[in-house]
Amino acid sequence: MKILELREYDVITSNRDASEQFGYVYLEKSAFNQLQDLIFTFNEYEEVDDAIDFLSISSKRNVGKVIRAKNYVGVLQVNDHVQLQILPKIHGGTQEDPKKTFLKMLKSLKDFPSKSFNESNLYTDKMPIFEVFIRLYIMEVQYLVKRGLKSAYYEIEDNLKVFKGKMNFAQQIKHNTVHRERFYVQYDEFGLNRPENRLIKSTLELLVKQSTSAENIKELRKLLLHFELVQSSMAIDKDFSQVKIDRNSKDYESSLKWSKVFLKRMSFTMFAGEATAQSLLFPMEKVFESYIGKTLSKMLVGTEWTVNLQDRKYYLFERQFALRPDIVLRNERTQCTIIIDTKWKLLKNEPRKNYGISQADMYQMYAYAKKYNTNEIVLVYPKTEAFSDDEDISFMSDDGVNVKVFFVDCHWIENSLTKLIEYTGI
């Protein structure tokens, strides 16, 4: 398996000379064409308005067609031989590992399966991101095994010489019209061979074949020893439909979320259909928003401020065009409201071009100010080397709406948000 690692906004080409000349990522022609077809498939889904923000295709003079990675990061399997691993462009920090920061950001996502891992203990320097995901799954199953695999009653269908349980008449007629001495029956048995354990065993078996890490393969095989009395899943969809997470099986929840991702080749994106068959992708706009919102919420616990994420209190018109600012801070005592909106975009230090802030974003901020009756709006962007730590950028309307721009260092998020709290007077 060839693993091609690139960053957001990197350019991919099948022109080797152009790759060497301009520093583009080289992908052999056949794989490049398959990736191009995959993009076309993504864009066929009309319900995905921002599909073009995943990967874009264009042409460059003397280069030919190029593909640019945009806004989505993670793993994309192009074919059986090539896997793309797209990492976010995270500026700031000094010697910080961007993969560890990325994992720290992912933990904030509501649907991300693993929440309790310590990213500083993951040796990600030379580990591809897909192997990191496998390692997280291993950690979840190790925790499950340590807590003890659960047994349960499960249904068995079999063609026996003795009658047991209840007759399956449809299968009896199908299989035993001639063999009258046999009984096609259904009965319950107590043991480890429950759907949850079958799905986990099948995931472990799959990852042993897919992993390229000797350490991961070793740990996967050790875990399989605990599932010797469990059959592999013969009907994945059926087994998932029978999974019931309750107080007795709560320990299985994270492992089974990962199993669904690996076994059903699901993605964390909104994309649907065959195009996601080999993707494990995350929209960085959502990751950044969640990272800022969840961290700020923790930091303001015990203060006078309440934090609402994705607030849905107001509409632009009568019950139409919902306004959903990323973060709304309210202080009931002072009757103060502050709107914070996050944008995963790298601004440029060009005041004459409004730093690259879009006009549509400013219209949006103005609408927030009017509906929420506040003049305090903060636009939060990721930090880049183009701006100093004490950069002060703000825009004031003629009717008093003040939109401030603030940069956060994703590597040192708590330090950055402490400065934001001081900056806004929270």
Rg, the chain, Cα only: 26
Q: At which of 173, 191, 209 does a domain end? A: 191
CA of 154: how far to CAs of 135, 187, 190, 233, 249, in Å?
A: 30, 8, 6, 13, 15
Q: What's the pLDDT tens digit per position in 137-176?
A: 999 999 999 999 998 777 778 888 888 888 888 888 888 8
For residue 53, pLDDT beyond 80: no
CA of 81: how far to CAs of 77, 102, 216, 277, 397, in Å?
A: 8, 26, 20, 15, 55
**What is the domain count for the chain?**
4
Q: What pLDDT band is residue 51 in, cutting at 50, 70 and 90?
A: very low
Same domain, residue pair 52 and 127: no
Same domain, residue pair 129 and 164: no
Q: What pLDDT band is residue 311 in, cutting at 50, 70 and 90?
A: confident
Contact 255, 141 (CB under 8 A): yes
3 strand-pairing partners? 83
For residue 45, pLDDT beyond 70: no
Q: State which residues form the domain around 209.
A: 113-148+193-267
Least confident residue range of 157-161, 214-218, 265-269: 265-269
Q: Residue written as tokens 């390229």?
A: 212
Same domain, residue pair 168 and 252: no
Q: At which of 216, 238, 267 does a domain end? A: 267
Least confident residue range of 86-100, 195-209, 221-235: 86-100
Contact 378, 368 (CB under 8 A): no
Same domain, residue pair 200 and 54: no
State what percent of residues in the chain have pLDDT above 70. Answer: 92
Same domain, residue pair 320 and 258: no
DSSP string, 123-147: --TTS-HHHHHHHHHHHHHHHHHHH
Q: What's the pLDDT tens digit per position in 317-347?
A: 877 888 899 999 999 999 999 999 999 999 9
Q: Is residue 277 part of a domain?
A: no
Same domain, residue pair 141 and 21: no
DSSP string, 357-377: --HHHHHHHHHHHHHTT-SEE
Higher pLDDT, 42 or 405: 405
For residue 348, pLDDT beyond 70: yes
What's the pLDDT score for residue 48? Answer: 46
What's the pLDDT score for residue 46? Answer: 45
Q: Is residue 280 part of a domain?
A: no
For residue 65, pLDDT beyond 50: yes
The burial class, CB within 10 Å (0-12 / 13-18 / 19+), for 419 is middle
Q: Is residue 103 part of a domain?
A: no
d(C-alpha 59, C-alpha 45), whole Å: 23
Same domain, residue pair 318 and 184: no
What's the pLDDT score for residue 189? Answer: 76
- CATH value at residue 395: 3.40.1350
> What is the chain's mean pLDDT, rounded?
87
Q: Residue written as tokens 């889904």?
A: 45
| Token pair recorded at residue 138 | 């291993």
For residue 240, pLDDT beyond 80: yes
What's the pLDDT score for residue 270? Answer: 41
Helix, strand, coil percent values for the chain (each to nearest 5) = 40, 25, 35
Q: Is residue 104 part of a domain?
A: no
| Non-local CB neighbours of 385 within 8 Å, separated by 6+ positions | 91
Q: Residue 306, Cβ neighbours under 10 Å: how many?
A: 12
Q: Which amino acid does the sequence have at 191?
A: G
The pTM of the full predicted model, rounded to 2 decimals, is 0.84
Same domain, residue pair 248 and 381: no
Same domain, residue pair 384 and 338: yes
Q: What's the pLDDT tens digit per position in 389-400?
A: 778 899 999 998
Q: No. of H helices and E strands in the chain?
A: 12, 19
What's the pLDDT score for residue 249? Answer: 86
d(C-alpha 290, C-alpha 309), whole Å: 9
Q: At which of 206, 241, 267 does a domain end? A: 267
Same domain, residue pair 238 and 325: no
Q: What pLDDT band is residue 267 in, cutting at 50, 70 and 90?
A: low
Q: Is residue 94 part of a domain?
A: no
Higher pLDDT, 216 or 180: 216
DSSP 9: T
| Token pair recorded at residue 199 | 């799905």
Same domain, residue pair 262 and 118: yes
Same domain, residue pair 360 and 253: no
Q: What pLDDT band is residue 44 in, cutting at 50, 70 and 90?
A: low
Q: What pLDDT band is residue 114 in, cutting at 50, 70 and 90?
A: confident
